[in-house]
Structure 1
Amino acid sequence: MTAALQPTELETQLSTLQGEAQGAIAAAATLEELEKLRVGYLGKKGEVSKILGGMGKLDPSDRPRIGSAANDVKTAIQDALEQKRTALQAAQLQAQLEAETLDVTMPGAYRPQGRMHPLNSTIDRILDILVGLGYTVAQGTEMETDYYNFEALNTPPDHPARDMQDTFYLPDGNLLRTHTSAIQIRYMENNEPPIRIIAPGRVYRRDTVDATHSAVFHQIELLAVDEGLTFTDLKGTVKEFLQEIFGDIPIRFRASYFPFTEPSAEVDVQWKGKWLEVMGCGMVDPNVLKAVGLDSETYTGFAAGLGVERFAMVLHQIDDIRRLYTSDLRFLRQF
């Protein structure tokens, strides 16, 4: 601005600037562009401030008129900025809504329906029955110490029954559990009778794999400890459980041997015209109760165990245990 600048020239500049600003604001496509225009026109070093910088050279009588005109231009630019900002924000929101809107009329992406594995469904069915009989599910680790897997279950290192459950030993002396009975020992150590638990889980035995045997399989055991429990209670529990699984079929108990129960029995069911062995059971040996600090003169208990694979194969008429582990969809889709 020069000293010879006249008031009318400032008014013309302000009017021109207003038109230019409103045109640029109307053409802005983004909020970022709009912010740059605001700073460029209304900032401390903006175009309006540059024009007003020449007011100091005006006659004092002209300054109020030019100042009022400048304020009008600033207000017009601010109004234009605000209107454009509102319009851009609304457009941005609409674009976001359109991009994120789910068209419920479009067909969904196809995903094959999953199926419960026969082992899992058998485990769930067994647990549902036993929980209904008043038992609580207890869990344990698959790696065990020799003490919990054998010694606390009345099977010392030189006991011949260990040959029946040869397993996989680890370098530190621990082993992969051969049964879920170790869960029962740990539970009895930390809980006072009455005790009624179910112990499901994966177990390991060094066995030759064939149509009916696997080195890795699933087992479920139940344990009850209380005052006055007898073999009659055991038989009643087992018969109720098996009839829930297989229906009203003949059941028989055969004398057997397990190091941790005395007396012991194998349980058979008559299924499709022949007798099938399905589980083992017996009264908890007094030495096992003693190992967990329970008085065998006060408390008695019974235990039973079954292989989940055996139950699944009987219920679904599966001819080879290996079919349960191959993940063959042609087989699994049948369930």
Structure 2
Amino acid sequence: METEGSIAYDEVVELALYDPNHGFYATSGQAGRRGDFITSPEVGPLFGELVASYLDQEWDRCGNPDEFVFVDAGAGPGTLARTIAAANPRCADVLRYVAVEISDAQRESHPPFVESASQLPTGPFDGVIFANELLDNLTFTPVRRHDGELRTVRVGCEDDELMEVVGDRLAAEDVSHFKPGIVGGVVQQAAANWLEHARTSLTQGSVVVIDYARDRSEDVEVRTYLGHERGTSPLVQLGSNDITVDVDLAQLQSRVGPATELTTQKAFLEELGIEDLVEEGRAHWKENAAVGDLGALKARSRVREAEALLDPEGLGGFTVAIWR
């Protein structure tokens, strides 16, 4: 089947995830233990406490401006906003919190103290733009080597079933971001566009991306999930599955410039003092376990949260990329 009668792959992903009536995030997709995926903010309040510490560090580094903007990109229902507010960072009095979420249903759950938006705010401003597991959910276009050249993958239909079909020759500009001889990959133009927009919005501050990521384009994998279980093809049960793709670090940095810092979530949170908070929690639990009050239970929970956030085979192994 040729490109006639087919549609672009990224358009299919856009509809499957974000269509306002039938898309995954408009109908069933949600984070949390009872949802379809667990993100770091949903593990518990500890992650928000540490992000609050990062905000204070960046506020100090920028010279303590009178207004400091925190953009929570892909904010979901606003879980991170609530935990950062509860942590009461030093910059709280000058903090402008913008919770960006494309899903109307998710925005309705945002707390009243945030600015709720569907798109990144217009700069320039001083602050932090924070994207936790956002870029892996942006649209993408798979490419495959066909007859000696890289071509896009499009979506066609045969016998009432969606199927991948060979598309157009990949543009020379896109080819330049892949290593010679690669047999396939994923063009992540939407992620590059988002990052470029974010970087140019800041006068001072940083863009922080935390996500599934790969150093080599050939290792990038597309996945689907439903109810914490791996699914099959992204073209099966459109709108019912979460569709994610590893962030191609090599391609992204080729398109927008090298990251200032590359590390893991484990190392990032350790640098922010997670071990001190955990020890504080252990001590409080040991001292108050017999009482069993709310504070003691929260202290014990902090230890368990840290285990999940630092797990090198799980959330702790995620890549943290920072652009300043």
TM-score (norm 1): 0.23
Greater Cα radius of gyration, structure 1 or 2 = 1
TM-score (norm 2): 0.24
Tell me which protein shows more strand as a share of its residues: 2
Higher relative contact order (CA 8 A, sep 6+): 2
Q: Counting helix residues as a fraction of each chain, which structure ranks higher? A: 1
